[in-house]
Amino acid sequence: MVNSFQNKSLAAQLTIVISILMILASTAMTLFLTREAKNNLETEAEAGLKQQSQLVSDLLGFYYQDSFNNAKRLSDIFFNMFPQGVSPSNKTVSVANYQTRALTDEKGIINGDFSKPDEFTRMTGGTATVFARHGDDFLRISTSLKKENGDRAFGTLLGTGHPGYKKLIAGQTYHGVAHLFGRDYMTIYRPVQKDGTTIAVLYIGFDLTQGLTELKQTLARMTVGETGYATVLAGKGHKQEGTVLMHPKIEGAKLQDVKAADGTLPFRIVLEQKDGLIHYSWQDKNNVAREKIAAFHHVEGWNWIVLLGSFSDEFAETSILLRNMMIILMAVSTLIIIAVCAVMLYRRLAPLNKVTQDLVTIGQGQLNINLPPVDVSRDCSNEILLLRQGTISMHQGLTDLVSQLSQASYSLKQNVSQVQQASSNTEEAVDQQSLETQQVVCAMEEMAATTADVADNARESANTTLQGQDKATSGQQASEAIHMTIDFLAAEMQKASDLIKEVSQESNNISEFIVTISEVAEQTNLLALNAAIEAARAGESGRGFAVVADEVRTLAGRTQNATSEISQLVERLQNKITQAVSAIETSNDASQESRERTIQARDSLTEISDYMAHISDMGNNIAAAAEQQAAVAETVTQSLHNIKRLSDHTRIQSDTSVAASEDLKHVADEIEQKLSRFRL
């Protein structure tokens, strides 16, 4: 595998390495950004769920307080209908199946007299009851409250198990929500005491049935995420503690006993804490178990718990979309960069292939090739051009050297012939040959030294280029860091924009609650107007009632004004949210522009780094070629030294010129044979 890689071209090796590095970097960046985006979205989703649950809790608390205030005003009206109070008498009367002591007011016995409760119901639309003390309990002796079949709830006991019983016995007022005969009421029980003992209880009930129905419908229309919803259950201490009061599937169940998809009981903590978050496994509509996240908050007054939740992956859809887009973008970018790098490498290194082929041809002894000249300026630092120029110079030098050696060999053969013909001329010919050989040796030594200098300079140039490549790589890494930071900032801005849009949607839900409250106030106003008309018809006897009706209309008007102001506040909040979304989108556009410029800078640094890497490799190749040339020159120099020694020996043995001439002829033939491999 390693040998196969090393045998590939330099351009192919660099392309493979760059491709692997780009794929690894893109994969790591995609995984990192996806994980960070998912974590941030989960955090934002949890905060949003908490805020929504608290908002719904506050709205329910506001509705409870408003209902209580209305009931309190009705209680004052009913209490004032007994200007002289309620007093016990010594008479005993029969109420249904019970014998109880009679209670009296300014008109007489109250037991069995329904005039005041009915009048109260006609004026206010609420229900009223007078309870008389009956042993340890309280008996309904006068009431406008009716059962489901239309009969009065007359002659029935309050019951010692009633949640307000202890307070009433102790002389304290009790208020709370009660479900009586199929309808829901905000109730107030006011004790009447004599000598420290509770002798009677005056009850009023403000009908909440329609309001609670509309409230539940509004909560049922709420959506959290894509498929999430709101759940309401009875809180701790409630007579229905833990019972699910509103849910698409499990209404009426005990939430603390409801199991998640994995068999655990995750909802018990809801009854123990005032608010918080829970994670649990829940089956979707396809019966597939998925993780769900929910926020809960306690509602004061009602003693309810609001639970808002949805599947976790619905909040992570943005993260999944971002991941898929990044994978596609990274894949396309990586392929484009690899393709561009491959094309650039092959184009920029193409001249090096020609130089390599020329060197191989020269190494084979074919000096008759034609090398076109290269125009290289003095300040040129292109290693490939310099390498081509060096190759041309080496080719010319070798051609001249071989030509000179050929001529020297020819001269040597002529001298041998002359020695054979006339031994007297041998010494002169040998001297001439020795002189010429010495000159060639000097020239070869100088060329070897020059070649060594070229190799050293090439090595130094390669090292300098590597340093420049390191600097370019550092700049590229810095550009990558900036690119990652800008991408992270853009994602954060997009999430902030989505969260503010969700807040805007929830503001619309608040408007719906306010409309409901306004409608209740308008109905109250109409009731008060009708009551005033009835009082006017009654003449002098209805004057006091007209005052009460006018007070009710005033209170209804104040309620309508308050809801109008709240609507204006919500409208201003929505305008501010719109401005915030616009500002975030503007910032997001700016970050995108910065990101594109950072990508351009990163690509430029990458290209510079690649060029420097190619230049460094070419410098090393030049140094290697120069060292090879020096080795060849050293070989030739050694051969010339041998020739010189032979010439000296020939001179010493001039007395045996014939034998020496034969040896010299043999040497000349050997040189000619070696030079024959070169084609001029």
| Residue 164 CA, distance from chain mean position | 53
Among residues 117, 124, 166, which one has the least CA distance to residue 144?
Answer: 117
Query: How many other CB atoms are there within 10 angstroms of residue 27's CB atom?
Result: 14
Q: Supply the DSSP string of 493-520, one letter for each residue.
A: HHHHHHHHHHHHHHHHHHHHHHHHHHHH
Q: Residue 519's pLDDT is what? A: 76
Cβ-Cβ contacts under 8 Å for 278 (sequence gap 6 or more):
266, 267, 269, 270, 293, 294, 296, 309
Domain 81-208 class? alpha beta
Give 280-313 pLDDT, tens digit per residue.
888 777 888 888 888 888 888 888 888 887 877 7
Q: Residue 570's pLDDT is what? A: 65
**212-313 and 379-675 in the same fold:** no
To the nearest 10°, report the CA torsion of 14, 17, 19, 23: -160
pLDDT: which is higher, 242 or 371: 242
Return the sign of the alpha-carbon dihedral for residues 76, 82, 87, 88: negative
Among residues 304, 299, 309, which one has the least CA distance to residue 245?
Answer: 304
Q: Residue 75's pLDDT is what? A: 92
Domain 379-675 class? mainly alpha
**Residue 641 reports pLDDT greater than 80:** no
**Residue 215 reports pLDDT greater than 70:** yes
**Residue 183 reports pLDDT greater than 80:** yes
Residue 192, both tokens: 């009447």
pLDDT: which is higher, 206 or 353: 206
Residue 348, both tokens: 């920029």
Q: Residue 219's pLDDT is what? A: 79
**Residue 451 reports pLDDT greater than 70:** no
91-95, 139-143, 577-581: least confidently modelled range: 577-581
Cβ atoms of residues 112 and 103 within 8 Å: no
Among residues 9, 4, 1, which one has the least CA distance to residue 350?
Answer: 9
Secondary structure (3-state) at 184: strand
Query: Strand pairing of 244-246 and 229-234?
Result: antiparallel
Q: Supply the DSSP string of 242-278, one letter for each residue.
A: TBEEE-TTTTTSBGGG---TTS--TTHHHHHSSEEEE
Cα separation, 45 vs 461, in Å, equals 58
Number of residues that make up the chain: 680
Cβ-Cβ contacts under 8 Å for 651 (sequence gap 6 or more):
427, 430, 431, 434
What percent of the chain clears pLDDT 90, i.e. is strictly above it? 13
Cβ-Cβ contacts under 8 Å for 229 (sequence gap 6 or more):
220, 222, 223, 247, 248, 308, 309, 310
What average pLDDT does the segment 502-529 reach? 72
**Residue 580 reports pLDDT greater than 70:** no
Q: Residue 303's pLDDT is what? A: 83
∠193-197-201 over CA atoms, to 5°?
Answer: 45
| Per-position b or e across 342-355, b if 16+ CB within 10 A of its CB | bebbbebbebbeeb
What average pLDDT does the segment 642-657 reach? 68
What average pLDDT does the segment 303-332 reach? 74
pLDDT: which is higher, 155 or 228: 155
Cβ atoms of residues 521 and 527 within 8 Å: no
Cα separation, 428 vs 423, in Å, equals 10
What CATH code would you report for 212-313? 3.30.450.20
pLDDT band for position 237 (50/70/90)?
Answer: confident
Helix (H) / strand (E) containing 620? helix 543-652
The domain locations on the chain are: 2-54+318-354, 81-208, 212-313, 379-675
- Give the sheet arrangement for strand 127-134, strand by strand: 137-143, 127-134, 197-207, 183-194, 174-180
pLDDT band for position 121 (50/70/90)?
Answer: very high
pLDDT band for position 601 (50/70/90)?
Answer: low
Question: Please, which contacts does 162-171 make with residues 24 or more away whose CB atoms are closer than 8 Å?
Answer: 163/239, 164/189, 168/138, 168/198, 168/201, 169/198, 170/198, 171/196, 171/198
Cβ atoms of residues 184 and 196 within 8 Å: no
Q: Residue 34's pLDDT is what? A: 65
Q: Supply the DSSP string of 350-401, one letter for each residue.
A: HHHHHHHHHHHHHHTTBTT---------TT---HHHHHHHHHHHHHHHHHHH
Number of C-alpha atoms within 13 angstroms, CB side, residue 482?
18
**Residue 513 reports pLDDT greater than 70:** no
Q: Residue 150's pLDDT is what? A: 84
pLDDT band for position 370 (50/70/90)?
Answer: confident
pLDDT band for position 131 (50/70/90)?
Answer: very high
pLDDT: which is higher, 411 or 173: 173
What percent of the chain clears pLDDT 70, i.e. is strictly above it? 74
Residue 324, both tokens: 């898929």
What average pLDDT does the segment 434-452 reach? 69
Q: Residue 597's pLDDT is what? A: 73
Bridge partner residues of 121 (DSSP): none
Give 553-568 pLDDT, tens digit per residue.
787 677 777 777 777 8
Among residues 229, 236, 316, which one has the least CA distance to residue 270?
Answer: 236
| Per-position b or e across 580-595, b if 16+ CB within 10 A of its CB | bbeebeeebeebeebb
pLDDT: which is higher, 269 or 583: 269
Among residues 173, 162, 106, 167, which one has the least CA distance to residue 139?
Answer: 162
**Residue 170 reports pLDDT greater than 80:** yes
Query: How many other CB atoms are there within 10 angstroms of residue 412's CB atom?
Result: 24
Q: Residue 572's pLDDT is what? A: 79
Between helix 10-80 and helix 543-652 the angle, nearest 10°, is: 170
Q: Residue 472's pLDDT is what? A: 64
Q: Residue 76's pLDDT is what? A: 93
Mean residue pLDDT across the chain: 77
